[in-house]
Amino acid sequence: SYELTQPPSMSVSPGQTASITCSGDKLGDKYASWYHQKPGQSPVLVIYQDTKRPSGIPERFSGSNSGNTATLTISGTQVLDEADYYCQAWDSSTGWVFGGGTKLTVL
């Protein structure tokens, strides 16, 4: 079955850039999406199809995907960006797959 791997946690200072990685076999050949989830809330789509931002998502969120790694970049990270972040891709054998999630701490 297809798997996506994320670092369990990372921290960043306010105003700095956070780069969250997601790795999977030939992930660059698939579309990657990213979601954030704050405690007690539902996930929210922040990046889809590698680089696209849904309406209402700030420009500081951007994405890339190449080779075996997709990356979510948050420029000028704000305290309100503190959340769990999940990558996701679709695999023809496994279906819709999520990474294990990365807890982003902003301090």
Partner 1 sequence: EVQLVESGGGLVQPGGSLRLSCAASGFTFSDYCMSWVRQAPGEGLEWVAYIKQDGSEKYYVDSVKGRFTISRDNAKNSLYLQMNSLTAGDTAVYYCARHGDKTEDYFDSWGQGNLVTVSS
Q: Which of 54, 58, 67, 76 binds partner 1 (CB under 8 A)?
A: 54
Euclidean distance between CA atoms 2 and 48, whole angstroms: 19
Question: How many contiguous H segments (helices) and E segments (strands) does the chain have?
Answer: 0, 9
Minimum separation from the CB atom of position 15 to partner 1 (A): 28
Tokens of 17: 């850039």
Determine, following the binding rule CB under 8 A, whether residue 31 of this chain makes contact with partner 1: yes
In the complex with partner 1, the residue whose CB is nearer, 78 or 96, is 96
Minimum separation from the CB atom of position 85 to partner 1 (A): 11
Contact 85, 23 (CB under 8 A): no
Tokens of 91: 């695999």
Determine, following the binding rule CB under 8 A, whether residue 100 of this chain makes contact with partner 1: yes
Q: Which of 2, 5, 10, 45 binds partner 1 (CB under 8 A)?
A: 45
Minimum separation from the CB atom of position 74 to partner 1 (A): 19
Euclidean distance between CA atoms 50 and 48, whole angstroms: 5
